[in-house]
Each structure stands twice: as C-alpha cells, then as structure tokens.
C-alpha cells in the first residue's frame, strides 16, 4: 500500500491512460441517481467518481444476469471507476462463494482477474444507506486496486495492489507526496459522512442482527408485519450485490448451457419432485432471505452478506425496509412477557 496526492487535472490525465488501455465503466449522474455506464476518452467530462453508490451493484460485471457457460471464458480487460465501500464488501462475499470454495467458478474468476477496481470514498449519502449499522463505513479500507479520497483540488490516492503500483510508477510525475493537511482533510470528510449516515439511522435501536434474526425465527412479525406487503417481484434479490442463486438450463436457440439469476423468493425456487415445497408461504421465503444474509453467511464466511447499501429498500414496491423489519423484530423481542 502506498499513499499519493494527485491534482484533478493530473488525475484526468492518468484516467485517460486507463481508458485507452481498458474497457472502462464509471458512474453517470442522472437527476441524482448514479448509473454504471461505459466511458471513452471523449466522455470523460461526464464521469462522476465521488458521491454515493450506484443504483445497481457491480455484481453484474462478474456474475451477469444471463450468460452462456459452455465455452472457455474470454473476459476483456476492464476498469471500474467509482466503486464504493458497500460494493467492495459485497464483492468480498461473492469472492468467497465463487472463487474460495473447493471448485472455483472459471467465469467469475476470469472476470475478477481481468478487472481493475478504482474505488472512492463517499462524500454524500442516500436516505436508504445504513452501512454504519452493519459493521461498515462509507469509505473503503480494502478490496480495491486504487482508492480515491476527494480533497481540495485533487485526491488522496491509496494503492491496494501491485498491478496498480506499477501503473502509477509508469506515470510517477503525475503524483506527489501527500501533505499532512491533505490527510487531515480526508479524515475530516470521512468523519463527517460517517456521522451523517449514523445520524440518519439513529431511530433504529437494533444491534447484532445475526442474533436477532436467529432468535426470531418463530416470531409472528414475519407474517403479520414484515411480509404483508411483499408482492414477490424479486426486485430485492436481483438488486442485491450478494445474491448468488442461479438456474442452469439450455438455450432455446442452440442448446448451449445458460446460467441465469434465480430468486429464493419465487414460489417455485424450493419446489421439489412431487410438488413438495419446504417454504410454501412468502413470509417463510422472506425470512430465509434475511437469515441467508445475516445468519448463514456469517456462519460460513464470518461476514454479513448485507453491506447496508439500501438498494433493496429503494426498489421494493411494497415499501419493505430491512432496517424497519429488524426494528419490528427487535421491539417484539423486547416486549415483556
């Protein structure tokens, strides 16, 4: 790891170099919402690096919605610019699932090995953000190749991989040694945004969601309050950066094997031969979703499979808010018998 300071104009020069070497994706601001979009050298003025996380997770870059899995993977060199801490935490979970097991997924691994991740501190937050409630923070600590922290007229640059150390050394004249006031400003901004996210979630008094969900398996709240407005649209699953369930089938056109995302909220997901279904009711399936993120994954990987990004909150037509669901469970547990 190394620290540098780079002016905004010099960063644009370095970014131009990356864009000419890799297929580049960055954030584009559309009326306050950030979307991943492919960028080229002539679109650089439209690049957004800071602010908050994108509307969609970066999962799709490594584990696409639909892909053919018959032939050898042939990924292209890619750089993602503006990844946030919540995305990196989600990627940590996906790495454990797809590349850390007995058998690694060759398609996922190939994409990971051919992608450079440039992350950035958040300097703003959304009402749905709650990373600080679930063991996180709005700035990256690990998992990046390069991280940027916005300071006056430039960025603090932190490297996280040898590959990017080499890239920086090739353009060393663009980078400077950071001054103490640069680092002080970075720390002040980090403290400010951390406080903003924490204050935004101060009405939620639950802690230790793993124990809470585990001890509330039989709570009537799942049926009466939490799943009542669920329309089983799968939006929460498909927008979650750590959902990994997939269906393997044949292409209608050429018979090639196709892998597509699946959802444990769908009625048919757990159905077995003879029509039996271990989770017939939607509240059972929604409860399993919470347990998967907050109980089972910590048991297996020692980290929550929820990073507090709040994407599931934003897309739910039933207005189900995981923070409020946990609060209902908490208040039910706290009630005197």
Give the pLDDT confidence of 229-281 residue by residue, as tens digits.
999 999 999 999 999 999 999 887 777 899 999 999 998 888 888 889 889 99
CA angle 299, 301, 305 (to 5 degrees): 90
- Residues 190, 214, single domain; the answer is no
- Residues 192, 286, single domain; the answer is no
- Residues 181, 49, single domain; the answer is yes
The tens digit of pLDDT for each residue in 139-190 reads 999 999 999 999 988 999 999 998 888 889 899 999 999 999 999 999 999 9
- Residues 182, 38, single domain; the answer is yes
Percent of the chain with pLDDT over 90: 80
Q: Which of 180, 200, 220 is the last residue of a domain?
A: 200
- Residues 261, 225, single domain; the answer is yes
pLDDT for the residue 117: 97
Distance in angstroms (rounded) separating the CA atoms of residues 53 and 16: 23
Please state the domain count of the chain. Answer: 2
- What is the band of 336 on the pLDDT scale with cuts at 50, 70, 90? low
- With a cut of 70, say whether residue 120 has pLDDT above it: yes
pLDDT for the residue 46: 66
Mean predicted confidence (pLDDT) in 63-75: 92
- Residues 76, 93, single domain; the answer is yes
**Mean pLDDT value across the chain:** 93
> pTM to 2 decimals?
0.94
Percent of the chain with pLDDT over 70: 98
- With a cut of 90, say whether residue 212 has pLDDT above it: yes
- What is the band of 47 on the pLDDT scale with cuts at 50, 70, 90? confident
- Residues 176, 248, single domain; the answer is no
Domain that holds residue 170: 3-200
pLDDT for the residue 333: 87
The tens digit of pLDDT for each residue in 305-329 reads 999 999 999 999 999 999 999 999 9
- What is the band of 334 on the pLDDT scale with cuts at 50, 70, 90? confident
Helix 106-113 to helix 85-98 angle (10° resolution) is 140
- Residues 18, 55, single domain; the answer is yes
- Residues 303, 159, single domain; the answer is no
Q: Which of 174, 200, 226 is the last residue of a domain?
A: 200
CA angle 308, 52, 43 (to 5 degrees): 140
How far, in Å, are 65, 157, 218, 306, 317 from residue 228 at the CA level? 28, 47, 16, 22, 12
- With a cut of 90, say whether residue 125 has pLDDT above it: yes
Distance in angstroms (rounded) separating the CA atoms of residues 186 and 170: 26
- Residues 75, 196, single domain; the answer is yes
* Residue 208, phi then psi, degrees to nearest 5: 50, 65
Go through 115-151 and write b for each residue having 16 or more CB atoms within 10 A of its CB, e for each that does not.
bbbbbbbbbebbebbbbbbbebbbbbeebbbbbbbbb
- Residues 193, 243, single domain; the answer is no
Q: Which of 200, 227, 248 is the last residue of a domain?
A: 200
- Residues 235, 116, single domain; the answer is no
Determine which of 57-66, 98-107, 116-125, 126-135 has the lowest per-residue pLDDT on average. Answer: 98-107
């Amino acid at each position: 790891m190394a620290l540098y300071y780079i002016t905004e104009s010099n960063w644009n020069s370095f970014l131009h170099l990356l864009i000419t070497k890799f297929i580049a994706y960055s954030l584009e601001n559309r009326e306050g919402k950030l979307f991943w979009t492919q960028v080229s050298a002539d679109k650089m003025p439209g690049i957004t690096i800071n602010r908050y996380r994108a509307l969609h997770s970066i999962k799709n870059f490594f584990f696409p919605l639909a892909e053919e899995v018959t032939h050898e993977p042939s990924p292209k060199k890619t750089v993602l610019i503006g990844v946030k801490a919540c995305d990196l935490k989600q990627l940590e979970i996906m790495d454990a699932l797809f590349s850390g097991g007995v058998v690694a997924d060759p398609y996922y691994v190939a994409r990971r090995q051919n992608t450079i991740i440039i992350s950035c501190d958040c300097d703003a937050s959304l009402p749905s953000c709650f990373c600080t409630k679930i063991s996180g923070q709005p700035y990256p600590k690990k998992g990046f190749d390069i991280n940027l922290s916005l300071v006056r007229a430039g960025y603090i640059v932190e490297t996280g991989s040898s590959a990017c150390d080499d890239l920086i050394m090739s353009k060393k004249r663009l980078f400077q040694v950071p001054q103490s006031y640069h680092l002080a400003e970075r720390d002040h901004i980090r403290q400010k945004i951390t406080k903003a996210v924490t204050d935004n979630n101060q009405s939620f008094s639950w802690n230790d969601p793993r124990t809470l969900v585990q001890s509330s398996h039989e709570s009537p709240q799942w049926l009466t309050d939490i799943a009542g407005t669920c329309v089983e649209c799968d939006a929460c699953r498909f927008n979650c950066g750590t959902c990994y369930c997939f269906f393997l089938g044949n292409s209608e056109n050429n018979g090639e094997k196709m892998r597509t995302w699946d959802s444990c909220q769908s009625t048919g997901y757990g159905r077995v031969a003879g029509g039996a279904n271990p989770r017939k009711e939607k509240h059972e399936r929604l409860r399993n979703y919470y347990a998967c993120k907050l109980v089972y994954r910590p048991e297996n990987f020692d980290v929550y499979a929820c990073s507090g990004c709040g994407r599931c909150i934003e897309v739910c037509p039933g207005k189900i808010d995981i923070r409020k669901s946990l609060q209902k469970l908490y208040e039910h547990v706290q009630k005197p018998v």
